[in-house]
Amino acid sequence: MSSETMTQTSGAERRIVISVDAMGGDRGAADVVAGLAASAQKNPEIHFILHGDEAEIGPLLAKRKILVGRCEVRHAPRVVTMEDKPSQVMRHGQGTSMWSTIESIRSGEAQAAVSCGNTGALMAVSMLQLRKMPGINRPAIGALWPSTNPAGFNVILDVGADVRAEAEDLLQYAMMGASYARNGLEVMRPRVGLLNVGTEEHKGRPGMKEAHDLIAGQAEAGHYDYVGFVEGGDIPSNRCDVIVTDGFTGNIALKTGEGTAKLISAFLREAFAATFMSKIAAMLALTSLKRMQKRIDPRRVNGGVFLGLNGTVVKSHGSADATGVSSAVKLAFQLAKSGFNERLAARVAPAAAAGQDPALSKDGTTG
Amino acid sequence: MSSETMTQTSGAERRIVISVDAMGGDRGAADVVAGLAASAQKNPEIHFILHGDEAEIGPLLAKRKILVGRCEVRHAPRVVTMEDKPSQVMRHGQGTSMWSTIESIRSGEAQAAVSCGNTGALMAVSMLQLRKMPGINRPAIGALWPSTNPAGFNVILDVGADVRAEAEDLLQYAMMGASYARNGLEVMRPRVGLLNVGTEEHKGRPGMKEAHDLIAGQAEAGHYDYVGFVEGGDIPSNRCDVIVTDGFTGNIALKTGEGTAKLISAFLREAFAATFMSKIAAMLALTSLKRMQKRIDPRRVNGGVFLGLNGTVVKSHGSADATGVSSAVKLAFQLAKSGFNERLAARVAPAAAAGQDPALSKDGTTG
């Protein structure tokens, strides 16, 4: 991506182009187009390049006047399915809507990409086309988690890019997560915690202590405060802003949290349907309940951000509906507009070049 | 434990003795004694041996008439703290209330034990005194998880006995978890799932595929149905009754679930306090909300059961209050009364002796 296409100015005068994969989600192109229409309605700066089967997308777009002149279609005859193996998509993925979506980032036509498709394949295609940022060994997926923080969200990473992570990778996750919290949540000096099964230093898996020491040692350079080991219960808490873990544990934690929220919503509905009195109560409380629901609705915090690549890619939930797609687009837009990826690169590249150089902290809080 | 002290009769005519650690929890002996009083009130069969500082426990017991003649005190001058390392407690733990609590199981005076203390130390002391069941390599901690199942709960293990687990260990967890679901939840043919980051067979950590094949192969012998890989979102679902995972992942999942439930409760309270209308609604809905709260209250599903030892030990939450202690005692009582541990031993011992012997299935559904 050339620097001309993406600046750190407020950008009110220029357009931001988001490259969107119309296919590959569980619900199909109709929900994606509806999501784009919702985003376009709310945001006059936003433009799209939409990738997928023209015969399917064309009629859907024709129904959305708000998208006229703001959404270009790129025909892609093939689709990556949820069952496709990442390694195969890497080799034979050309001509798919996912491949084409990432290509628009690489060429600089678009400033960020969104896809609801197969996570593993999307990461593979993104790594192949965009390449890893200098200094990054394993890219990660960062997710937002509703919390009692002032910002309302915590960042957790990795939630599924790679099932493995060495101590050095966990350090990079800490740096990238802190940068994301600064740019995405406006937390200037994020508190970073390392996920473990106990908060005592002797607990946990082999290698955890090494990661603990590395992350503690780079706190100044990374402009974060390190709070040490945290537990599962701290993920939605106000103890830290960034939770660092490997992609296996992070993915299970994320899905467990979503599953628990779903279970409680089901129980709540049952509770309110139980008696005549409780039904009246539910009606009276409707506005308050909706406000609460909104805070924990996974569709509203939809979007895992791929961190550590030369380009911004947002992975939307596979089952995202129009609301979900619109949330993912909003996130992509915000990150594109803030110039997040350039800031992140500026943060991690000198760290890689300088090794443990504490002089790194001179570059202020730009990343 | 001799067979005389524990039979599989209904036991209405005889007493069940629970050995309880009065010390070592976050809240101290007063909450433990209050919990025992609540249990004694509800259950005339129950008796206790209470271990701890006599000078502290004596006055607390004196205030509880219901416990007169039903609670014997064993003085233990020392306490295991949350900071003590398991290895140290194993070597120097004699004289602590925790050690003494487990001793009463080993001697056969009590049929089950409950402690709110340091999990790692409790497992170490239990393993040292009770020894592993024949055929078990790594004991596990099994926890109950509120779910949309007919039984209302799923079993998840291991939630923290050991941060590592080989494929063979995960198979043993499947056998033990199925047995626990049969005896604790009365699910005669439990559905077992293996926790992973995807449900496709090629996904996940190295070693997962091997565990997958082992667990699938022993389904007949273990009297369970194997549903394959499950994800974090399936833990509270009706897809399976038993979720098998290593102690690192299981512990983080359990605490993440608890943390999420706590977060939503906080949001719910805020939502109801928001407006005058919602406050009235909250009053009207009070009974329904309390019913819901009860279903997800971690205190009411309090108690991780140590599986794979020659004796039943229930680990209560460190921060358990009287309600929490009473739940843990109830669980210990149920398991003691059902003769669960003998059944479990009968299930896993022949499996170990016979290897992959399918003749094992002859012993019916006793374990």
Least confident residue range of A86-100, A281-295, B158-172? A281-295
Average pLDDT, chain B: 86
B85 touches chain A (CB under 8 A): yes
* Averaged pLDDT for residues B238-250: 96
CA-nearest residue of chain B to A297? Answer: B264
Query: Residues 205-224, chain A: which have Cβ within 8 Å of B?
Result: 205
B152 touches chain A (CB under 8 A): no
Quick one: tokens of A242? 């960034």
Q: Determine, yes or no, domain membership for A344.
A: no
CB contact under 8 A, B253 and A256: yes
Q: What is the pLDDT of residues B19-70, one digit of tens each?
A: 999 998 889 999 999 999 999 999 999 999 999 999 999 999 999 999 999 9
B296 touches chain A (CB under 8 A): yes
CA–centroid distance for A314 within its chain: 5
* Averaged pLDDT for residues B88-108: 95
The answer on pLDDT for B367 being more than 60 is no
Q: Given this model, what pLDDT does residue B103 score?
A: 97
Sort out which chain A residues have CB atoms less than 8 A from B245's CB and list them: 252
* Averaged pLDDT for residues B209-215: 95
d(CA B343, CA A152): 49
Q: What is the pLDDT of residues A218-247, one digit of tens each?
A: 999 999 999 999 999 999 999 999 999 999
Q: Given this model, what pLDDT does residue B136 score?
A: 93
Q: B56 to chain A nearest CA, in Å?
A: 29
Q: Residue A235 is nearest to which of B163, B259, B280, comparing CB atoms?
A: B259
The answer on pLDDT for B1 being more than 70 is no
Q: Which 3-state string (H, E, C) describes chain A?
A: CCHHHCCCCCCCCCCEEEEEECCCCCCCHHHHHHHHHHHHHHCCCEEEEEEECHHHHHHHHHCCHHHCCCEEEEECCECCCCCCCHHHHHHHCCCEHHHHHHHHHHCCCCCEEEECCCHHHHHHHHHHHHCECCCCCCCEEEEEEECCCCCCEEEEECCCCCCCCCHHHHHHHHHHHHHHHHHHCCCCCCEEEEECCCCCCCCCCCCHHHHHHHHHHCHHHHCCEEEEEECHHHCCCCCCCEEECCHHHHHHHHHHHHHHHHHHHHHHHHHHHCCHHHHHHHHHCHHHHHHHHHHHCCCCCCCEEEECECCCEEECCCCCCHHHHHHHHHHHHHHHHHCHHHHHHHHHHHHHHHCCCHHHHHHCCCC
Q: Residue B253 is nearest to which of A234, A253, A291, comparing CB atoms?
A: A253
Q: Residue A291 is nearest to which of B195, B235, B271, comparing CB atoms?
A: B271
Element (H, E) at B230: strand B225-230
Q: Are residues A115 and A198 in the same domain?
A: no
Q: What is the pLDDT of residues B281-315, one digit of tens each?
A: 777 666 666 766 676 665 666 678 999 999 999 99
Q: Determine, yes or no, domain membership for A252.
A: yes
Model confidence band, residue A350 (pLDDT cutoffs 50, 70, 90): low
* Averaged pLDDT for residues B191-209: 84
* Averaged pLDDT for residues A145-152: 86
Q: Determine, yes or no, domain membership for A365.
A: no
Q: B260 to chain A nearest CA, in Å?
A: 6
The answer on pLDDT for B356 being more than 50 is no
Q: Are residues A267 and A324 in the same domain?
A: no
Q: Residue B236 is nearest to which of A231, A259, A277, comparing CB atoms?
A: A259
A60 — phi, psi (to 5°)? -65, -40
**Cα torsion at B344, B350, B353, B357 (round to 10°)?**
-130
Structural domain boundaries enclosing B168: 137-300
Tokens 């950590």 belong to B205
Q: Given this model, what pLDDT does residue A366 score?
A: 46
Q: Are residues B169 and B56 in the same domain?
A: no
Q: Chain A interface, mutation test: which of B260, B297, B315, most A Cβ atoms within 10 Å?
A: B260
Q: In terms of C-beta density within 10 A (0-12 exposed, 13-18 middle, 19 or more buried), how is residue A306 classed?
A: buried
Q: Which residue has the higher pLDDT, B1 or A120?
A: A120
Least confident residue range of A79-93, A127-141, A318-332, B291-305? B291-305
CATH number for the domain that contains residue B64? 3.40.50.720
Model confidence band, residue B7 (pLDDT cutoffs 50, 70, 90): very low
What percent of chain A has pLDDT above 70? 84
Q: Given this model, what pLDDT does residue B45 score?
A: 92
* Averaged pLDDT for residues A258-281: 77
Question: Which of B43, A213, B199 is closest to B212 using CA atoms?
Answer: B199
The answer on pLDDT for A136 being more than 90 is yes
Tokens 């559904």 belong to B365
Q: Are residues B53 and B110 in the same domain?
A: yes
CB contact under 8 A, A281 and B285: yes
Q: ipTM score of the complex?
A: 0.80
CA–CA distances in Å: residue A310 to residues A13, A131, A157, A165, A359: 25, 6, 18, 20, 25
Q: Residue B197 is nearest to which of A163, A233, A285, comparing CB atoms?
A: A163
Q: In terms of C-beta density within 10 A (0-12 exposed, 13-18 middle, 19 or more buried), how is residue B366 classed?
A: middle
Q: Given this model, what pLDDT does residue B299 score?
A: 61
Least confident residue range of A208-217, A243-252, A296-305? A296-305
Q: Given this model, what pLDDT does residue A169 score?
A: 96
Q: Residue A263 is nearest to which of B148, B198, B262, comparing CB atoms?
A: B148
Q: Are residues B169 and B90 in the same domain?
A: no
d(CA A22, CA A302): 16
Q: Given this model, what pLDDT does residue A357 score?
A: 34
Model confidence band, residue B185 (pLDDT cutoffs 50, 70, 90): confident
Q: Are residues B145 and B125 in the same domain?
A: no
Find out whether B192 and B240 touch, Cβ atoms under 8 Å: yes
Least confident residue range of A47-51, A330-334, A351-355, B281-285? A351-355
CATH number for the domain that contains residue A90? 3.40.718.10
Q: Determine, yes or no, domain membership for A347.
A: no
Q: Determine the 3-state secondary structure of B165 from DSSP.
A: coil
Helix, strand, coil abundance in chain B, percent, nearest 5: 50, 15, 35
Q: What is the pLDDT of residues A191-217, one digit of tens each?
A: 999 999 976 666 778 789 999 999 999
Q: Given this model, what pLDDT does residue B205 score?
A: 80
Q: Determine, yes or no, domain membership for A37.
A: yes
The pTM (predicted TM-score) of the whole model is 0.84
Number of folded domains that form chain A: 2
Q: Determine, yes or no, domain membership for A253.
A: yes
Q: Are residues A96 and A244 in the same domain?
A: no
Q: B69 to chain A nearest CA, in Å?
A: 39
CA-nearest residue of chain A to B205? Answer: A163
A279 touches chain B (CB under 8 A): no
Average pLDDT, chain A: 86
- Angle between helix axes A119-130 and A97-106 (nearest 10 degrees) is 30
d(CA A35, CA A38): 5
B250 touches chain A (CB under 8 A): no
Q: Given this model, what pLDDT does residue A266 score?
A: 80
What percent of chain B has pLDDT above 90? 60
* Averaged pLDDT for residues A281-300: 67
Q: Are residues A88 and A41 in the same domain?
A: yes
CA–CA distances in Å: residue A88 to residues A121, A163, A226, B199, B204: 8, 19, 40, 18, 17
Q: Are residues A277 and A173 in the same domain?
A: yes
Q: Are residues B31 and B122 in the same domain?
A: yes
Q: Determine, yes or no, domain membership for A364.
A: no
Out of B300, B321, B355, pick the residue that ends a domain.
B300
Q: Which residue has the higher pLDDT, A258 or B203?
A: A258
* Averaged pLDDT for residues B225-234: 95
* Averaged pLDDT for residues B184-193: 92
Out of A301, A316, A351, pick the residue that ends a domain.
A301
Q: Residue A288 is nearest to which of B254, B272, B296, comparing CB atoms?
A: B272
Q: What is the pLDDT of residues A45-60, one digit of tens each?
A: 999 999 999 999 999 9
Q: Chain A interface, mutation test: which of B288, B290, B295, B296, most A Cβ atoms within 10 Å?
A: B288
The answer on pLDDT for A97 being more than 80 is yes
CB contact under 8 A, B267 and A292: yes
Q: Given this model, what pLDDT does residue B100 score?
A: 97
Q: Given this model, what pLDDT does residue B196 score?
A: 94
Q: Determine, yes or no, domain membership for A349.
A: no
Q: What is the pLDDT of residues B260-281, one digit of tens each?
A: 888 887 877 777 777 777 777 7
Q: Are residues A20 and A87 in the same domain?
A: yes
Cβ contacts from A onto B, under 8 A: 196
Q: Given this model, what pLDDT does residue B353 score?
A: 54
Out of B247, B267, B300, pick the residue that ends a domain.
B300
Query: Residues 34-73, chain A: which have Cβ within 8 Å of B?
Result: none
Q: In terms of C-beta density within 10 A (0-12 exposed, 13-18 middle, 19 or more buried), how is residue B2 classed?
A: exposed
Q: Given this model, what pLDDT does residue A53 score?
A: 96
Q: Are residues A132 and A163 in the same domain?
A: no
Least confident residue range of A61-65, B3-7, B98-102, B103-107? B3-7
Q: Which residue has the higher pLDDT, B357 or B210?
A: B210
Model confidence band, residue A351 (pLDDT cutoffs 50, 70, 90): low
